[in-house]
Amino acid sequence: CIETIVPQICGSLTNTTCICTDTQLPVTLEPCIVSACNVTDELQLQRYSAQTCGRANDKSRQLGQLRVTYVLPALAALFVLARLYVRIKLTIGLGADDWTMLAALCAYLAMVGTGISMALQGFGQHTFWLSIDEITRALMFFYLSEICYLPAITLTKISLLLFFARVFPHPRFRMGIWAMLGFVFLSNFSIIMVIIFQCVPVHANWTNWTYKVPPVKCINRFIAAYAAAGMSILHDVIILLMPIPILARLNLPWHKKLNVLVMFLVGSFVIICSIFRLPTLMKLKGSTDPSYDQAPIAIWTDLEVGVGIICGCLPSFRSLIGYMFPSLKMSLVPSYEGNTLVHWAGSRSKNKQNSAGLNTGVASFMELEDLYGSRHNLNQTKNEQRSAITRGSGASITE
């Protein structure tokens, strides 16, 4: 195609100015290439064009992708470890929401591992610079990353819902939580089944690309990707809005309401990541340079899952900061009716209080627990609070 068509338009094969700038040349070449060349030939042609036109040193997106891939998982792991420490050392121990968040972190780290493997195979560079084997291996890791993504994001949402179920005892609210949990699980489970078996046999997910006419017929993977992205946005919006009516009824000072608002704003960033991820998916559908165009998808996906995990661990992280730096007065425990509310962790775990020898006020509603529970059970706990003050075994938290 090059030897026949290029001399007709540019006069010779050495007229690089014409080859690189003539807008009619690609249009004329395309029908010949499509009919006469296989996928390998097309990549060689793109590589020839890049070398001829001096694009050999084009910047790749690998570095930006790897920065996010290394930094964000480390932060997410730090927040999860802080959560586990607070729950084990400062409160009653691990609950179902904590174990679920730990599982979400493991799935996220597996997803990160596949992302790093993709980058090491060349994803983030232009496709024509990669060998056939590199592209094939990278597509295999891309398929695995899709499988890891949904469990990670699903477990993160389930952990947050289990946290709400532990914190807010209102029967109607808990029914809504369990209904939402079932909706999240079933919808994402359906999508992940579609993704896993979008090609049968499975290896066609990373080998079909080498054929002009793929030997294995697969469903449109972008339909499942769009469904997963849209469902994730819907889940996030509902989960973010669920506790707002209850929190709005709490009699909190403005600065404590601001603390809660900040946590919800961080949660809303997850929705923003999901929304920004959608256009990158749409762009990849018609891409002729998928290894280069997938980098923004990888970055936004990492942000969505990583920030979601961090958001789910924020209350416990604030507990740890309050324990380590009491002067910051990070407590969220409110006062009602002009009285100072006292949180007595000994009522939850006397042994942990005595063994740790710490200020038990730190283990208060930094996990939203006392923020609702103290109001809900205020009348039942006043006598315990006064008794705790008298014995000197409680921790008074003043505004």
- For 175-209, the pLDDT digits (tens) are 999 999 999 999 999 999 988 998 888 888 888 88
- Could you give the dihedral angle defined by the CA atoms of residues 226, 150, 131 and 63, in that order, rounded to the nearest 10 degrees? 100
Proportion of the chain above pLDDT 90, given as a percent: 16
pLDDT at 258: 66
Instruction: Tell me how far apart the alpha carbons of residues 330 and 17 are, in angstroms, rounded to a whole number.
Output: 66
pLDDT at 351: 40
Q: What is the mean pLDDT of residues 220-241?
A: 84
**Residue 140: CB partners within 8 Å, gap ≥ 6?**
205, 206
| Closest residue by Cα to residue 362 from 399, 388, 330, 315 | 330
Proportion of the chain above pLDDT 70, given as a percent: 76
pLDDT at 364: 35
Best mean pLDDT range from 15-29, 243-257, 301-315, 338-352: 301-315
Q: Is 272 left (phi over 0), alpha (psi -120 to 50) or beta?
A: alpha
> Does residue 387 carry a pLDDT above 70?
no
- For 99-109, the pLDDT digits (tens) are 999 999 999 99
Mean pLDDT estimate for the chain: 75
- Provide the residue type at 134 as one letter: E
Residue 256: which pLDDT band, with cuts at 50, 70 and 90? low
> Does residue 30 carry a pLDDT above 70?
yes
Q: What is the mean pLDDT of residues 152-158?
A: 93
pLDDT at 283: 74
pLDDT at 87: 86
pLDDT at 85: 87
Instruction: Tell me how far apart the alpha carbons of residues 154 and 162 are, in angstroms, rounded to a whole number.
Output: 12
> Does residue 114 carry a pLDDT above 60?
yes
Q: What is the mean pLDDT of residues 3-30?
A: 77
> Does residue 356 carry a pLDDT above 70?
no
Q: Is 329 left (phi over 0), alpha (psi -120 to 50) or beta?
A: left
Best mean pLDDT range from 1-5, 19-23, 99-103: 99-103
The phi and psi torsions of 22 (rounded to 5 degrees) equal -70, 120
pLDDT at 259: 65
pLDDT at 157: 92
Residue 378: which pLDDT band, with cuts at 50, 70 and 90? very low
pLDDT at 101: 93
Single pTM value for the model:
0.75
Q: How many CB atoms lie within 10 A of CB 367?
A: 25
Domains, the chain, with CATH or none: 2-52 (no CATH), 62-326 (1.20.1070), 331-396 (no CATH)
Q: What is the mean pLDDT of residues 133-154?
A: 91
> Does residue 388 carry a pLDDT above 50?
no
- For 291-347, the pLDDT digits (tens) are 888 888 888 888 889 988 998 888 777 777 777 777 664 444 433 333 333 333 333
Give 142 or 389, the one with higher predicted confidence.
142
pLDDT at 93: 80
Q: How many CB atoms lie within 10 A of CB 179?
A: 11
pLDDT at 362: 33
pLDDT at 252: 66
pLDDT at 392: 39
> Does residue 395 carry a pLDDT above 50?
no
| Closest residue by Cα to residue 263 from 333, 329, 315 | 315
Residue 59: which pLDDT band, with cuts at 50, 70 and 90? low
